[in-house]
């Protein structure tokens, strides 16, 4: 399983047919529209055109999941379920993983159009009257930036910064995954574990933020497992920590696993900004 851009296949890469696309690894299955593992996430999707409920606005796509469709007419003839490829796309959102989007081009052939993220999804009744699972995918601005960088090879700094931004916004790193597993997706502030159909959902918050100007490390000693509410409060300096991990801005203490050592320097970095944000 390979998420993200593949070396040698930048956005705009063309493929003669589904076989060539499959061999390249950009979209491996010879027929299916969604490539991925249900439990992990979707690597890539193909927009074939002609499916009744798909809406393609370029950088924003409403993509109908798989199942219940007559392959020749593209009409829905039965309901879809949140399983297989559809569950994979749901997990792409849950884990924040990028999806490669491939479009069929006029006159035959396929084009890789860059990375998208799954922003939203839900069940809907399609035009043909059956339940469908619909996914909203939005182009990653960063893949457009990478294009620009390719045109202007002097801007390496931008490229490097892009990589960092991708990893914060989108990529589920080994570190962020392990912190979520360590806490079984329970928020270290409130203890809540949010259940969603594909599985529990939590977010990894970097104490000292990644990217400029903070340049915090993507390391276990610099991440917390938080619910979305507490992630926003923490990132927006409404919540912080003392050196011994008492909460500032809420009552109580941060839950910590005995195998999770948090670097006090990162806590101080965060708290200094909290204090700045709350100084009169």
Question: How many residues touch Zn ion (CB under 5 A)?
Answer: 5
Query: What is the C-alpha end-to-end distance of the chain, expressed in Å?
Result: 51
Q: What track of x and - describes contact with Zn ion for positions 246 through 265 (by CB under 5 A)?
A: --------------------
- Specify the residue, 102 or 233, whose C-beta has the smaller distance to Zn ion: 233
CA of 74: how far to CAs of 37, 88, 136, in Å?
24, 21, 19
Q: What track of x and - describes contact with Zn ion for positions 136 through 175 (by CB under 5 A)?
A: ----------------------------------------
Selected from 21, 189, 204, 225, the binder of Zn ion by CB under 5 A is 189
The minimum distance between CB 248 and Zn ion, in angstroms, equals 15
Half-sphere exposure (CA, 13 Å, Cβ side) for 177?
12
The minimum distance between CB 148 and Zn ion, in angstroms, equals 38
Rounded Cα distance between 218 and 154, Å, is 27
Structure tokens at 38: 């249900």
* CA 21, 141, 217, 195 torsion-angle sign: negative
Backbone phi, psi, residue 131, to 5°? -70, 130
Structure tokens at 149: 């960088």
Strand segments (E) across the chain: 14-15, 34-37, 41-47, 55-56, 60-64, 98-104, 110-125, 131-139, 194-196, 199-201, 203-206, 223-226, 240-241, 247-248
- Specify the residue, 255 or 269, whose C-beta has the smaller distance to Zn ion: 255
- Specify the residue, 13 or 193, whose C-beta has the smaller distance to Zn ion: 193
Q: Are strands 131-139 and 110-125 parallel, antiparallel or unpaired?
A: antiparallel
Rounded Cα distance between 80 and 93, Å, is 19
Q: What track of x and - describes contact with Zn ion for positions 169 through 188 (by CB under 5 A)?
A: ------------------x-
The minimum distance between CB 194 and Zn ion, in angstroms, equals 9
Check binding of 21 to Zn ion (CB under 5 A).
Answer: no
- Specify the residue, 59 or 250, whose C-beta has the smaller distance to Zn ion: 250
The minimum distance between CB 231 and Zn ion, in angstroms, equals 8
Residues 207-236 that bind Zn ion (CB under 5 A): 227, 230
Rounded Cα distance between 32 and 29, Å, is 6
The minimum distance between CB 258 and Zn ion, in angstroms, equals 20
The minimum distance between CB 83 and Zn ion, in angstroms, equals 30
- Specify the residue, 165 or 227, whose C-beta has the smaller distance to Zn ion: 227
Contact 47, 104 (CB under 8 A): yes
The minimum distance between CB 198 and Zn ion, in angstroms, equals 20
The minimum distance between CB 16 and Zn ion, in angstroms, equals 50
Selected from 190, 245, 248, 264, the binder of Zn ion by CB under 5 A is 190
Interface with Zn ion (CB under 5 A): 187, 189-190, 227, 230
């Amino acid at each position: 399983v390979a998420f993200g851009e593949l070396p040698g296949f930048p956005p705009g890469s063309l493929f003669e047919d589904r076989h060539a696309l499959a061999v390249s690894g950009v979209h491996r299955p010879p027929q299916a529209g969604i490539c991925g593992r249900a439990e992990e996430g979707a690597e890539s999707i193909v927009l074939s055109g002609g499916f009744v409920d798909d809406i393609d606005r370029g950088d924003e796509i409403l993509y109908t999941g798989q199942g219940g469709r007559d392959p020749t007419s593209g009409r829905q003839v039965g309901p879809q379920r949140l399983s297989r490829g559809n569950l994979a796309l749901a997990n792409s959102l849950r884990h924040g993983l990028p999806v490669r989007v491939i479009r069929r081009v006029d006159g035959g052939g396929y084009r890789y159009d860059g990375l998208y993220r799954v922003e939203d999804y839900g069940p809907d009744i399609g035009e043909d009257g059956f339940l469908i699972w619909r996914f909203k995918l939005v182009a990653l601005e960063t893949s457009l930036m990478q294009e620009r960088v390719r045109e202007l090879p002097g801007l390496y700094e931008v490229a490097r910064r892009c990589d960092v931004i991708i990893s914060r916004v989108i990529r589920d790193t080994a570190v962020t995954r392990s912190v979520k597993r360590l806490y079984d997706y329970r928020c270290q502030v409130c203890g809540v574990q949010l259940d969603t159909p594909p599985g529990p959902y939590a977010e990894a918050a970097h104490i000292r933020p990644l990217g400029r100007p903070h340049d915090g490390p993507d390391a276990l000693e610099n991440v917390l497992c938080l619910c979305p509410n507490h992630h926003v409060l923490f990132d927006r300096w409404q919540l912080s920590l003392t050196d011994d991990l008492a909460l500032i801005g809420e009552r109580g203490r941060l839950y910590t696993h005995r195998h999770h050592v948090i670097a006090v320097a990162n806590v101080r970095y965060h708290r200094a900004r909290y204090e700045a944000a709350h100084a009169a």
